[in-house]
Amino acid sequence: MDIFLRTRGDFPILSQEIHGKPLIYFDNAASSQKPRSVVDTLVNYYETSHANVHRGVHELSNRATEAYEKARARAALFLHAERAEEIIFTRGTTEGINLVASTWGAANLKESDVVLLTEMEHHSNIVPWLMLKERLGIQLRYIPVDPEKGTLDLTDLGQLLEGVKLLSMVHVSNTLGTINPVKELCTAARERNIITLVDAAQSAGHMLLDVQEIGCDFLALSGHKMCGPTGIGVLYGRFALLETMPPYQGGGEMIETVDFDSVVYNVAPHKFEAGTPNIADAVGLAAAMDYLDDLGRGRIYEHDLMLAQYARERFGALEGVRILGPATERAGVLSFLFKDLHALDLVSFADRKGLALRAGHHCNQPLMKKLGTDATARASFYFYNTVNEVDQAVEIIEGVRRKLLG
């Protein structure tokens, strides 16, 4: 689309050369690039408005507090939350999931209680629950992945949901590109009074998200994957649940009053944001949300889908390649591998031609084991990527394959 081609000028980093070759940045699932408007917002904040937030009485503190709380309201609008108090700022999706596990999980789960995950979860949505298993003796159960289709096998969903206290699931797989039916899964869980958490790290900047329509109790996202700064993210939580949950960490800001032998905690969301928050990056994240909504998240989704399907067709024509994930209706993530060429070698040599891919297990070791490999190469796309870049990437990969395999 012409509108997206014009956006490339908003991203200075994309105009550079790597090893003397024009940069083709296909590592967006790991971290997206930042438009000038986000960078300018950060600079403006630090040059004109920085101070510590809340409880300040001087002008700079008032400005910083207003900007920070406006960012919270912006995130609520972005996710269509009912109220700004349902937005907790975190360092990213990983911390959001850990917060839920450490607060709601520790307060509501006991030995032998069941948490249901999927076999395509990122480590950030497995390890916190394994840690809770070590502490409390909870049980973990997994919705299986069909290795051929790259989708969840929901045949026995009713049975899998029996006795479950919490269902935590990824919206878009960072390896397979699968878009999971989170709304339907949340509906099935809600009918059984099961709490739900959605990992939206790979979907938040690529499609419209409406937490009320999805019907989830929690949803976590990372700013750096959606044109925002690193080190900032959002955890959405249904307010009635947040009110009942204990704090995540202790310190300043998360208290109402403190005495030598007692403490009264602050209200949500502040009781989950101990210490000085990441003010500047919250403001930068709000700017990223403005940028994405100006483009139109629906149009971004359509562009991602077009590019992913085109890339799957082009990459799939390469000799000896194996493409993972669904054939259609996929997000802009394409993992692939060659039988006699390790992903790390492929990606290393591709870098010399200016092509930025990702190689490894993508924090999906259990899934990789099920798929029968230890690593894949991964190309992941965003609205500033083009069909022409896909064609160039195919030429580069084919050249590397011929060079290394003969």
pLDDT digit string (tens) for 15-54? 999 999 999 999 999 999 999 999 999 999 999 999 999 9
C-beta separation of 176 from 187 below 8 A: no
| CATH H superfamily, domain 2-28+296-405 | Aspartate Aminotransferase, domain 1 (3.90.1150.10)
Angle at 21 between CA 401 and CA 350, to 5 degrees: 25
d(CA 278, CA 281): 6
Mean pLDDT of 75-95: 98
pLDDT of residue 367: 97
Asked if pLDDT for residue 56 goes beyond 90, the answer is no
Asked if pLDDT for residue 1 goes beyond 70, the answer is no
Q: Identify the CA nearest to 332 among candidates 379, 390, 272, 269.
A: 379
In the chain, domain spans: 2-28+296-405, 49-294
Asked if pLDDT for residue 145 goes beyond 90, the answer is yes
pLDDT of residue 279: 98
- Burial class for 232, CB neighbours closer than 10 Å (0-12, 13-18, 19+): buried
Q: HSE, CB side, 13 Å, CA atoms: give it for residue 371.
A: 27
Share of the chain above pLDDT 70, in %: 100
Those residues with Cβ within 8 angstroms of residue 138's Cβ, 6 or more apart along the chain or in another chain: 105, 109, 110, 111, 112, 113, 114, 115, 129, 132
d(CA 335, CA 118): 19
d(CA 65, CA 77): 18
The structure tokens 């930042």 sit at 34
Mean pLDDT of 240-246: 98
pLDDT of residue 328: 86
Q: What's the whole-number average pLDDT of the chain?
A: 97
**DSSP bridge pairs for 257:** 264
pLDDT band of residue 370 (cuts 50, 70, 90) is: very high
pLDDT of residue 52: 96
Mean pLDDT of 190-197: 98
d(CA 249, CA 35): 33
Give the pair of three-digit tokens for residue 280. Answer: 């500047």
pLDDT band of residue 55 (cuts 50, 70, 90) is: confident
What is the number of helices (H) and of strands (E) in the chain? 15, 19
Q: Which CATH class is domain 49-294?
A: alpha beta
pLDDT of residue 3: 78
pLDDT of residue 5: 82
Asked if pLDDT for residue 406 goes beyond 90, the answer is no
Straight-line distance from the first to the last Cα atom of the chain, in angstroms, rounded to the nearest whole number: 37
For 305, phi then psi, to 5°, come to -65, -45
* Long-range contacts at 72-78 (CB < 8 A, ≥ 24 apart): 72/269, 72/282, 74/286, 74/289, 74/290, 75/234, 75/285, 75/286, 75/289, 77/289, 78/209, 78/289, 78/293
Query: pLDDT per residue over 148-188, tens digit each?
Result: 999 999 999 999 999 999 999 999 999 999 999 999 999 99
C-beta separation of 283 from 42 below 8 A: yes
C-beta separation of 176 from 150 below 8 A: yes
Asked if pLDDT for residue 317 goes beyond 90, the answer is yes
Beta strands 321-323 and 17-18 are unpaired
Mean pLDDT of 207-230: 98
Mean pLDDT of 86-98: 98
Mean pLDDT of 373-395: 97
Query: What 8-state DSSP symbol labels residue 267?
Result: P
Mean pLDDT of 198-224: 98
186 is catalytic: no
**DSSP bridge pairs for 280:** none
- Burial class for 7, CB neighbours closer than 10 Å (0-12, 13-18, 19+): middle
Asked if pLDDT for residue 193 goes beyond 70, the answer is yes
d(CA 269, CA 105): 17
Give the pair of three-digit tokens for residue 155. Answer: 């045949």
Mean pLDDT of 55-76: 96
- Burial class for 2, CB neighbours closer than 10 Å (0-12, 13-18, 19+): exposed
C-beta separation of 338 from 322 below 8 A: yes
Query: What 8-state DSSP symbol labels residue 143?
Result: E
Mean pLDDT of 372-401: 97
pLDDT of residue 322: 96
User: Between residues 4 and 80, which one has the greater pLDDT?
Assistant: 80
pLDDT band of residue 401 (cuts 50, 70, 90) is: very high
Mean pLDDT of 235-239: 98
